[in-house]
Structure 1
C-alpha cells in the first residue's frame, strides 16, 4: 500500500477525475446501504449486518479502477448499526453478546467507501418491519422525518449564489427539528472533505453548546467543494454521552509519533496502517481479535488512534440519523451518497407550516438556468438604429 499522504493544508478544488472517484465511491456506499436495509428484519443480528457491510464495501471497491494497481480503495467508514437511543458508532465485535433486532425498533445504518482517498459516506434511519400497511407513527415518525427534512433543507442551503453562512444552516436545522418537537444532537459536526480527509476546512455545527458557540469559524460555501452532511436528531434534550460499551471504531491520528512497547500493539498498529491507512476502521475486521483488543489499548493511550466512542441518549429517547456526501458544482448540488426516505411509510400529525422551510424543501438540487438576458439585450441593441457620429 502506498505511503499515507500528508494532511492537506486546504482541500483541492473538485476536478473531473475527483468527481468520478467520489461518484464511484458514492454508488458503492448506496448499493451496500440498500443491501443492508434489506437485511434489517426481526431476528437479524446487528453484528452480521456490520460484517456483511464491510465485506461488501471491500469487494465492490476492489472491482473498480483495476488498472490502477497502486490505488488505495476500500472502507471509508466501517458499518455501524445503532438501535433506538444509541446515537452512533455501534459496531460490535464477534465475541460480544449478540444484539438481535426486534420489530418496531428504530435502526440507523452508517457506512462509507473510498476510492483513491475520495470518501463517500451515508447513513439512513428506518423502522424494523415498517411498510405502507404498517406505518410508523408517533415519536418514531416525528424524529425520523425531522432528521431527514433537516438534511434535505441543509443541502438546499449550500448553493453559493445564496451567500448563506454555516451559522444560517445551524439555525435551519434547529428550526426543522423544533417543528417536530425534537432536538438536534448537541455539537455534532458536518465537515468539508478532501482527498484522504473527512475533516478539513469548513464545518457546520448543529445545536452548539455554550462553550462551542463562538469556536466554529463562520464561512460561506463555494463551488467545487465537497461535504459530508451528518444530521442527528433526538426526541430528548440533545445531550448525549458515551456509554459503557467498548469503543471498536478508530482512525489513525494525524502527525502523532510514538514507539510502541508491546509486540501485540506494534503488530496491530502495523496491520491497521497497511489495511486502512488513514481511514476509520472497526477492530471487528481483524482476524486476531484478541491481539486487536490488546493492541488498541496502548495505541489509544498514546494518541496514535482517534476513537469513535459509542454515544447514547437516555433509554426513553430515540435518535435518528441521516448522512449524505455532496459536491457543490456549477450545475448544482450533487448528492453522491445518501438515499431518499420513503415518506409514505411515515405518518405524522405534524405539518410543516413555515413557508420558508416549505419552499426550501421543494427546491431542486439542480442549479436553475439563468435567462439569457444578455442575449436578449444584445438582440435589441442590434435592431436599434445606430446614431450618427457627432460632427
Structure 2
C-alpha cells in the first residue's frame, strides 16, 4: 500500500525552555566577574513538538485529514508498448495531462482519492474477515469504513456500488439482504468486490480470499490472468485480442482437489468493462473486456477508465442467474414511461436523489428509511426504468475466483490506480 503523508498537530503539555550555552542569567557573573543585570537576555523556548496524525483501527478518519493539499498517491505506472512508447516523453501529451489535472471535474486526484480509500479499507478487511462471521457483518464493516474514509457526501463521494461477498460457485452480484444470516465457513472461497467513488469517478477492484490451501492454484490463475489483462491493455489495443491474452493465461493453470484435477476455465459470461462518471459499466458507449478470445475489433482509447477483471472457475465456465436479487441500478437512458403506482414514482425520486445512476441494493434503501418498497421496485424493473442484477452462479460444487483492477489510460502512461501491496 502507498504510504500516507501524515498531517500534523501540536502536542499538548509544557516544554522545558531551551537555553543557549552562551546566555548569562540575571545576577550571574561572566568570566570577568561583571554582573549582567543591565544586559538581560530572554530565554529561548523550544517549539512545541508535533505529533503525526495516525489512522484509527478500524480505519474511520477521513482521508482529507492526511492529504490537506488534495494530492493523493499515484497508482502503479506502466509504460505503453509498441507504437505508443513515444507518449511518455511527448511534451504535447504532458501538456494535455497538466490541463486535465487543472480541471476539478477531470483531475486524476478524484480516482486516486477513491483508490487510497479502497487500499486502506481492504487492508483492514483482509485482516478481520474470518470464518464464523456473517455476510452482513463483513459488508457493513467494509461499507462503514468506505463511507468514513471517503467522507461520504451525497452524490459527491461515497460507496461506488454494493459490496459483493460472493461465495464458492457464486461469481458475482450477491450482497446480503435484510435478514440474511449466512455465515462464512472455513472451506469457502470468498470474492470481495467493492467500489468507492469521488465525484462520480468509480474505483472498482476485487480480490478473493480462502482459509485453507485447497484452492490456492485457482486464486493464482485468476490473479495472473488479471495481471495479464492489465499489462496488455493500452491505447489502440483491440478488445478481442486482449481477451485472448487473458484466456491463454487463465487456461494454463489447473487445480487438484481431492485427487482430481480440474482445468481453470475463464467464465465466458462475465467481463471487464469501461467506467464512465457515475456509470459503472460505461453507460451508452460502454465497452466490454471479455475473458475468451473473440472478433471484437473495438479499440481502447486515450483517457478511458477500465475495470480489468477476470473470473475463473473449476466448473463449466458459464453462469446463470439464481437466488434473491439484491443489486439494482437506474437505467441511464431509460425511456420516459408512465408509472401507474404512486409508490413507484416516490421510490424513483428517492433513487434519483440518493444514488442517481450508481448501483444500489436493498440494504441501502433500508438504511435511508425506505420500507415496504419491493412492489414499487419490481414495478420500476418491469418498466425498464431500473435494471436488476441477480446473483450469478456456476454449477453447484464448482469454485470460482475473481480479481480486478481499475486502470486509467493517461495520455503519457497507463496508471493502475487500484494497485497496492496486496495485489
- What TM-score does the superposition give when structure 2 sets the normalisation length? 0.67
Using the TM superposition, give the Cα deviation of residue 90 of structure 1 relative to its aligned residue in structure 2, in angstroms: 0.8
Higher mean C-alpha displacement, 303-312 vs 34-43: 34-43
Q: Which residue of 1 aligns with 2:418?
A: 337
Preserved contact between residue 154 and residue 354 of structure 2 (Cα < 8 Å)? no
* TM-fit CA distance, 1:60: 2.3
Give how far 1:251 is off.
0.7
Deviation at 1:289, TM superposition (A): 5.9
Q: Distance in 2 between matches of 1:105 and 1:127?
A: 6
2:201·2:277 contact (CA, 8 Å) conserved in 1? Answer: yes
User: SS at the partner of 1:284?
Assistant: helix
Is 1:251 aligned to 2:326, yes or no? no
Deviation at 1:341, TM superposition (A): 4.8
Query: Deviation per CA, 1:252-284, whole angstroms, max 9, x where unpaired?
Result: 102222232223323322222211111011111
Alpha-carbon distance in structure 1 between the residues aligned to 2:286 and 2:174: 27
Displacement of 1:51 in angstroms is: 2.2
Partner of 1:90: 174
Q: SS where residue 154 of structure 1 aligns?
A: helix
Q: Which runs of 5+ in 2 are unaligned?
A: 1-95, 254-262
Give ranges in structure 1 of 5+ residues lacking alignment.
Answer: 1-12, 64-68, 131-135, 343-391
Change in CA separation of 1:37 and 1:268 when aligned onto 2, cut-off 3 Å: farther
Alignment of 1:233-248 (within 5 A): 233-243=312-322, 245-248=323-326
Q: Which residue of 2 aligns with 1:37?
A: 126
Aligned residue for 2:140?
Answer: 51
Indicate the SS of the match to 1:317.
Answer: coil
Which one of 198, 203, 226 corresponds to residue 288 of structure 2?
203
Q: Which has the higher contact order (CA 8 A, sep 6+)?
A: 1
**Residues in 2 aligned to 1:89 and 1:70: alpha-carbon distance in whole angstroms:** 23
1:318 pairs, out of 395, 399, 404, with 399
What is the CA distance between 1:194 and its match in structure 2? 2.3
Cα distance, 1:266–1:231 mapped onto 2, change above 3 Å: same
**2: distance between equivalents of 1:148 and 1:182?**
12
Q: 1:84 to 1:222 in 2, by over 3 A?
A: same
Q: Is the 8 A contact 1:30 1:122 kept in 2?
A: no
Quick one: which of 250, 266, 271 aligns to 1:189?
A: 271
How far residue 34 of structure 1 moved from its aligned partner, in angstroms, is 2.4
- Quote the Cα distance in structure 2 between the aligned partners of 1:304 and 1:125: 33
Distance change >3 Å, CA 262–CA 322, structure 1 → 2: same
Could you tell me how far apart the structure 2 residues matched to 1:101 and 1:335 are?
31
Q: Which segments of structure 1 move beyond 6 Å, counting only runs of 4 or more?
A: none
Q: Which residue of 2 aligns with 1:274?
A: 353
Aligned to 1:353: none
C-alpha spacing 1:317/1:334, structure 2 compared with 1 (3 Å): same
Distance across 1 between alignment mates of 2:418 and 2:128: 20
Match of 2:70 in 1: none
Corresponding residue of 1:300:
381
* TM-aligned CA deviation for residue 73 of structure 1: 1.5
- 1:53 deviates by 2.2
Query: Secondary structure of the residue that 2:149 maps to in structure 1?
Result: helix
Instruction: Looking at secondary structure, tell me which structure has more helix per residue.
Output: 1
Question: Aligned match of 1:179 in 252, 255, 259?
Answer: 252
Q: TM-score, structure 1 length as denominator? A: 0.73
Secondary structure of the 1:307 match is: strand
Greater C-alpha Rg: 2
Deviations 1:352-390 (A, max 9, x none): xxxxxxxxxxxxxxxxxxxxxxxxxxxxxxxxxxxxxxx
The equivalent of 2:240 in structure 1 is: 167
For the 8 Å contact 1:283–1:289, the answer to whether it is kept is no
Which residue of 229, 233, 244 maps to 1:154? 229
3-state secondary structure, aligned to 2:124: helix
Match of 2:259 in 1: none
RMSD of aligned alpha carbons: 2.3
Once structures 1 and 2 are overlaid, which stretch shifts more, 287-296 or 142-151?
287-296
- Indicate the SS of the match to 1:239: coil
In 1, the alpha carbon distance for the partners of 2:419 and 2:389 equals 21
CA contact (8 A) 1:28 1:57 kept: yes
**C-alpha deviations, 1:6-41, integer Å up to 9, x for none?**
xxxxxxx97224311011111112222223223311
Structure 1 residue 56: deviation in Å? 2.5
Residue in 2 that maps onto 1:143: 218
CA contact (8 A) 1:50 1:79 kept: yes
Q: Does the aligned pair in 1 maintain the 2:269–2:319 contact within 8 Å?
A: no
Give 1:110 shift.
0.5
